[in-house]
Amino acid sequence: MAGKLWQGRFREATSKLVESFTASVRFDQRLYRYDIEGSIAHCKMLAQQGLLSREEEDTLIQGLGEILREIERGTFVFDDAQEDVHMAIEQLLIEKVGEVGGKLHTGRSRNDQVALDIRLFLRDEIQGVDEDIKDLQNSLVEQAKANLGVVMPGFTHLQHAQPVLFSHHLMAYYEMLRRDRQRLTASFDRVDVSPLGSAALAGTSLPIDSEVTAELLGFSAVSRNSIDAVSDRDFIIEFTSGAALIMMHLSRMCEELILWSSTEFDYIELSEGFCTGSSIMPQKKNPDVPELIRGKSGRVYGHLMSLLTVMKGLPLAYNRDLQEDKEPLFDTVDTVRQSLRILARLWENVRVNKERMEKMASSGFTLATDVAEYLVNKGMGFRQAHRAVGKMVRYCLEEGKELEQMTIQEFKGFASVISEDIHEILDLKHSVDSRKSVGGTSLQLVREAITRAEEELSS
């Protein structure tokens, strides 16, 4: 292998320790496709501007194409001595096509090159994450549709609160994921800006045309300040913070999958293909997948924090610290995409224990608010009604019965306005269906929410 591309100024060889410490090629080789794509666009622009002859352009582009194929075939071995993916490819190009390969870097620096590569990478990944979220949303909507009408206890403080439709609960996650997608889409515009032409930090005296490369690469804008373009990574932080929010939502969902599949809840059953066993306890079928996703949310939060910390206090413009952006970013992308994909498949295979959910939905005085609202409809003030129903609950607790087991005489003892129609109120389906205020859990509203979601997902 020839010496380093920047060797000219140096008399001594790089210490091996330093070589391996500073090299990023082990992980940034992941950007090879974008690096080559960016270099091809750069060559085309250089030729158009008369900085390369047409022949030189063809030679370079052909050489870059060959390198792409070699990397894809796995015949090219990356080496720490090449430092990073940019120099590895440039060096190989020079080995392949000779001296003319050295013209590739005309009017460009690794500083604008690396910013370009990450932006190209992230543009694709944002679209990929969006597809993955959509996939999970589809699975949730499918389950919501298949189980429409199933009543479960709604919780506050993890205590039975009011009956809700299981589908309504699932659609709450649909909404969170919808916002997650909106956040990604909004951040896309800030990623979709070409930094190429900023060179090391100040731009270049050579007659390049940044608009041309930006257009060839499908960017909707060119960065407006070269110093900013090479030193800014806020677009990565923005993505990672969006990813952290996605993981937070997934983690809450996973917590519920874990709780609901426990013997104590027994609301759902996870399919065996999505569970693992224990090495000592033969009976175990553990929810490791949701547990791992819940656990992995921690590492994405960590990446967000490490990126913020890397950036804090960096003087403008480029500093090598910025190389530390890649591993957190790559791991964030991989973690969030894997988690979304596996959850989409897991949800398709969840079996819902309708009987159990409905049985639990009426226990714990979940219809108490319904009785209070019944009294309000009969003309009683809400606070007064609340107090009266509170007393009924206390009475039931002492008598060891449920509200629906009380006789009219017993009811009248707490509020004389109560009549036979109270029994219509003490019914799960009635309770759910009566909650017709915007975003409520009535069957009709939930059915509409599902239809709206299906339309959103198919557009």
Annotated catalytic residues are 157, 278
Question: Strand 221-222 to strand 193-194: parallel, antiparallel, or no bridges (unpaired)?
Answer: parallel
Between 286 and 319, whose beta carbon lies closer to ligand ARG?
A: 319
How far is Cα 206 from Cα 46, in angstroms, rounded to an integer?
10
How far is Cα 6 from Cα 10, in angstroms, rounded to an integer?
8
What's the min distance (Å) between Cβ of 311 and ligand ARG? 13
56 within 8 A of 47, measured Cβ to Cβ:
yes
253 within 8 A of 173, measured Cβ to Cβ:
yes
Between 34 and 267, whose beta carbon lies closer to ligand ARG?
A: 34
What's the min distance (Å) between Cβ of 87 and ligand ARG? 8
Between 88 and 293, whose beta carbon lies closer to ligand ARG?
A: 88
What's the min distance (Å) between Cβ of 230 and ligand ARG? 9
Between 114 and 425, whose beta carbon lies closer to ligand ARG?
A: 114
Between 86 and 294, whose beta carbon lies closer to ligand ARG?
A: 86
b/e per residue, 220-231, with b = 16+ CB within 10 A? eebbeebbebbb
For residue 269, give the nearest of 204, 350, 326 by alpha carbon.
350
For residue 399, give the nearest of 385, 387, 414, 386 by alpha carbon.
414
The runs of H, that is alpha helices, within 312-363 are 326-348, 354-362
Please give the full DSSP string across 444-456, using - where no structure is assigned: HHHHHHHHHHHHH
The beta strands (E) that lie in 137-252 are given as: 151-156, 159-165, 193-194, 221-222
Please give the full DSSP string across 387-401, using - where no structure is assigned: HHHHHHHHHHHHHT-
What's the min distance (Å) between Cβ of 200 and ligand ARG? 7
What's the min distance (Å) between Cβ of 137 and ligand ARG? 35
Burial of 218 (0-12, 13-18, 19+ CB in 10 A): exposed
How far is Cα 22 from Cα 324, in angstroms, rounded to an integer?
10
What's the min distance (Å) between Cβ of 323 and ligand ARG? 4
Between 84 and 370, whose beta carbon lies closer to ligand ARG?
A: 84
What's the min distance (Å) between Cβ of 361 and ligand ARG? 55
The runs of H, that is alpha helices, within 192-287 are 210-216, 226-231, 234-260
For residue 109, give the nearest of 84, 92, 132 by alpha carbon.
84
Residues that bind ligand ARG (CB under 6 A): 24, 28, 84, 110-111, 114, 318, 320, 322-323
Between 289 and 329, whose beta carbon lies closer to ligand ARG?
A: 329
Q: Bridge partners of 159?
A: 156
